[in-house]
Amino acid sequence: MIQFLQIAKDSVNVAKEIETVESVIKSGHADLIIDKLVELSISAGKNILMAVVVYIVGRFLISLIQKVLANMLSRRKVEISIQTFLKSMVNILLNVLLIISVVGALGVSTTSFAALLASAGVAIGMALSGNLQNFAGGLIILFFKPYKVGDWIEAQGTSGSVTAIQIMHTIVTTADNKVVYIPNGAMSSGVITNYSRMETRRVDWTVGVDYGEDIDKVKRIVEGLIAADSRILQTPAPVIALQALDASSVNVTIRVWVPNAEYWNVYFEMNKKIYDEFNKQGIDFPFPQLTIHQA
């Protein structure tokens, strides 16, 4: 019974709507409505077409501006770290301006849209406060320059070469070719060891020889190896000294200065030269020994 009454009620409503439409048509208002709809459709079509044109032209201009900026920074020989940061920031700003322009071309008030965008920006900023800290950290890094692209650094438990400094992250490639993204906020407030900042670097070795070996002979052999390697600098002067009388060995320390880029080559090659030359000259390398006296 209830369903029957509902169907009857719906039929009455449909009949009333039909009568309303017929009355509008008879009164001549239908032509006005159609004209208004056509006018609105044409206006909306113009706005949509204009928005498409603005978007296409905007994408072209963004691409052109990015190329011009890249060429200008390259000609002025700006540091790679600053180049990557500026390119990333300009790309974001230009895309935001393009979105505002497209919305304006659609007929939406840019003033109200800008206010809405600003309000959304405040809310997003509060939600993404950590990212804002990373952005500020990136500016601090570019200003104080604790490192730049190409430097070998150790920070936040990662050691590797800096390949890019972006708005939010510093990209580091490790020795085994892993790519690590480190937040700029942590980099700007943490401890950073930069192995590439100075032009020279000291290489240290500690070599143990048997008790009873001639230390002066050991020193002469090492001096000859150092003198024969042109990569080792004579200023500051190399240091060869008896470091300690250890439990099973006499330890000799060797310290030399080399160009930064040659650090590991000199370190590994000198290890081999010392080993080969000591064996050739009859200088024995010790090994742990334990003497037991039986009662």
Above 80 in pLDDT, residue 24? no
pLDDT in tens, 228-284: 999 999 999 999 999 999 888 899 999 999 999 999 999 999 999 999 999 999 999
Given a contact cutoff of 8 angstroms between Cβ atoms, the answer to whether 251 and 208 are in contact is yes
Given a contact cutoff of 8 angstroms between Cβ atoms, the answer to whether 138 and 165 are in contact is yes
Which contacts (CB < 8 Å, 24+ apart) does range 60-66 have? 61/94, 62/91, 62/94, 62/95, 62/98, 65/90, 65/94, 66/90, 66/91, 66/94
Given a contact cutoff of 8 angstroms between Cβ atoms, the answer to whether 106 and 138 are in contact is no
Joined tokens for residue 279: 């064996």
Given a contact cutoff of 8 angstroms between Cβ atoms, the answer to whether 231 and 270 are in contact is no
- The architecture (CATH level 2) of 200-280 comes to 2-Layer Sandwich (3.30)
Pairing of strands 152-155, 192-194: antiparallel
What is the pLDDT at residue 134? Answer: 84
pLDDT band with cut points at 50, 70 and 90 for residue 225:
very high
Joined tokens for residue 219: 């020193």
Cα torsion 130, 131, 133, 134 to 10°: value is 130
Joined tokens for residue 269: 């090659």
How many Å is the maximal CA-CA distance in the chain? 132
Q: Where are the domains of the chain?
A: 1-79+89-125, 132-194, 200-280
CATH of domain 1-79+89-125: 1.10.287
Q: Which residue has the higher pLDDT, 78 or 207?
A: 207
pLDDT band with cut points at 50, 70 and 90 for residue 12:
very low
SS3 119: helix
Same CATH fold, 132-194 and 1-79+89-125?
no
Say which amino acid occupies 112.
S
pLDDT, mean of residues 215-222? 94
Radius of gyration of the chain from Cα atoms?
Answer: 38
pLDDT in tens, 148-204: 989 999 999 999 999 988 888 899 999 999 999 999 989 988 899 999 999 999 999
Annotation: CATH topology of 132-194: SH3 type barrels. (2.30.30)
pLDDT band with cut points at 50, 70 and 90 for residue 39:
low
pLDDT band with cut points at 50, 70 and 90 for residue 115:
low
What is the pLDDT at residue 2? Answer: 47
What is the pLDDT at residue 264? Answer: 92
For residue 182, the tally of other CB atoms under 10 A from its CB is: 20
